[in-house]
Chains A and B, each alone.
Chain A
Amino acid sequence: MVRLAPPQMTGDVGGADEALRTDKLNLWYGRFHAVEDITLSVPARRVTALIGPSGCGKSTVLRCFNRMNDLTPEARTTGEVRFQGIDINGPDADPVELRRRIGMVFQKPNPFPKSVYDNVAFGPQINGYRGNMDELVERSLRKAALWDEVKDKLRQSGLALSGGQQQRLCIARALAVEPDVLLMDEPASALDPIATYKIEELMTELKNRYTIIVVTHNMQQASRVSDFTAFLLAGEDRTGRLVEYGPTAEVFTHPKDERTEAYITGRFG
């Protein structure tokens, strides 16, 4: 079995602070070793893309950052994930508080069967938000570039919106609890090109304030929106490993690993 060398970490992450870091992160689903020894430093207020072919474990890695894998009973992790210096799997870490500070947007838009307003207000409500809810809802919808489209139908069901609007509603919902990090799991893969473009534009705007980690198997998207790119690949054993990580421009123009080059030039995957 070929063991990969530890990924080449670029010491310089564009002058940004580190928001999240994984250290030799491993995850098993039952006996299946899904990802092995992922060591990754995610810079704050940048977009970091996780790319790789289907089944390489990129979504699994993403779901380690907010402990979403806790919900899968047979999932087990080793190694460390540090968020602002704290081990998120440690005894002091609270997954509920963690998930408030690390929001998530899913592949398929999944608004609640509630009104547009209640979709956005849900997170603040359950987290005991005491401020002015109307203002917070408006602010969140504005940040998600959705306010102008829905300001007259806040009481309508969130499910009555178009797919692209639903996804931006989900982004607004995630932003409403004022997270520091936004995890996006192929946020545009279920959307048409125009809706996709809007989501990408939004990501570029949001990175001024939020750390964004996006999983995508659309390489153009990764090259358009991300500042850093991590390439994951599953070996013969179907276990995902980090092949290469660095500034997006470098990974796409001068990949260090020939498998990265093969993937981004479309020779497999």
Chain B
Amino acid sequence: MYAGNGARRRVSGRLFQWLCLAATCTGVAVLAVLLIDVLMDGLPTLSWTFLTNFPSRFPAQSGILSALVGSLWLISLTALFAVPTGVAAAVWLEEYERKGRLSRLIELNISNLAGVPSIIYGLLGLGLFVRWMGLGRSLMSGALTMALLVVPVIIINCREALRAVPRSQREAAYALGATRSQVIWHIILPMAIPGTLTGIILSLSRAIGETAPLITIGALTFIAFLPNSPMDAFTALPIQIFNWVSRPQAGFHAVAASGIIVLLVVLLSMNGVAIWFRDRSRRRLQW
């Protein structure tokens, strides 16, 4: 009754396996080429003075200090605005809101927001924060714009994490006489930390590399001072890199590559810290 096609099935199985491997290798290879290329271009000009110098007309004296500090400011302020807002919105949507037509509409809108191109947020930021609220081309405008960009992603990930908290845990807490907010604070949120952190990592990583919205709101490209307050003008790593790349002198291209290395290091160490923190809280909450 059977066709006895074992050999052919084995071959097609093997073929599929190789295809998957090839696809994986493509991704890894592209990443490797990219890294090698950037490292070869950028490592020679990467030095301590590159990190501590301000930008300059001369490639050899150019440094990334103002962009690095600007980016750190920007990402901290963004997290400050976006994390509480995103988490609180997720708690509302997941734990309080009655499920119905309205909640589905809101849900759909948030998913759509997460997919809106970042330059649109830049335009919104320009109109709303820079002009209407009169915040100017400040760190504040940049961070608020970035916060708009990342809040939907944080909401979506945080909701996933909240939904993953087992019903049995909620019931156990309610059965002891906990109020809804006690259940949320003491049981649900602690258990949702690892998943929420993943979302925060992903969204902040996206924010630190974003260029378009910052250009739109008019972040500067040549800054020879450090921001002292959120109301100061600023520049950020991707903008500085973009600026150097667009210069005609070859010297600046090497400096741009060094800037990319700095950006990658910042990004990877941010992710590293967050992943470490996430795993630690996950270990503490084995469930």
Contacts and interface: CB of A to CB of B under 8 A. Distances in A.
Nearest to B282: A113
B175 A66 contact: yes
A38 B203 CA distance: 53
Given A108-B168, A113-B286, A71 B176 contact: no
A122 interface: yes
Interface string A98-110: 1110011010101
Interface stretch (B1-9, B79-87, B177-185, B269-277): B177-185
Interface residues of B, number: 24
A266 to B, nearest CB: 31
Nearest to A176: B176
Contacts of A126: 173, 176-179, 182, 186
* Interface residues of B, dominant DSSP: helix
A113 B285 contact: yes
Contacts of A106: 168, 171-172, 175
A243 to B, nearest CB: 28
Interface string A114-138: 0000000011001100000000000
A122 B190 CA distance: 14
A180 to B, nearest CB: 13
A115 to B, nearest CB: 10
Contacts of B187: 112
A97 B176 CA distance: 9
B111 interface: no
A97 B173 CA distance: 13
A100 B174 CA distance: 9
B143 interface: no
Interface residues of A, number: 27
B278 interface: no
Given A73-B98, A106-B168, A110-B171, A173 B176 contact: yes
Contacts of A157: 286
A98 B175 CA distance: 9
A170 interface: yes
A97 B285 contact: no
A103 B168 contact: no
Contact of A96 (B166, B171, B177, B186): B177
B10 interface: no
A106 B172 CA distance: 8
Which 8 interchain pairs have the tightest Cβ spacing?
Answer: A100-B177, A123-B176, A104-B175, A110-B168, A113-B285, A99-B177, A110-B172, A113-B287
8 contacts: A73-B98, A96-B178, A103-B175, A104-B175, A108-B168, A110-B166, A111-B172, A112-B172
Given A108-B168, A174-B175, A174-B176, 7 more contacts: A73-B98, A100-B177, A103-B175, A113-B286, A126-B176, A173-B176, A177-B177
Interface of A: 66, 68, 71, 73, 96-100, 103-104, 106, 108, 110-113, 122-123, 126-127, 157, 159, 170, 173-174, 177
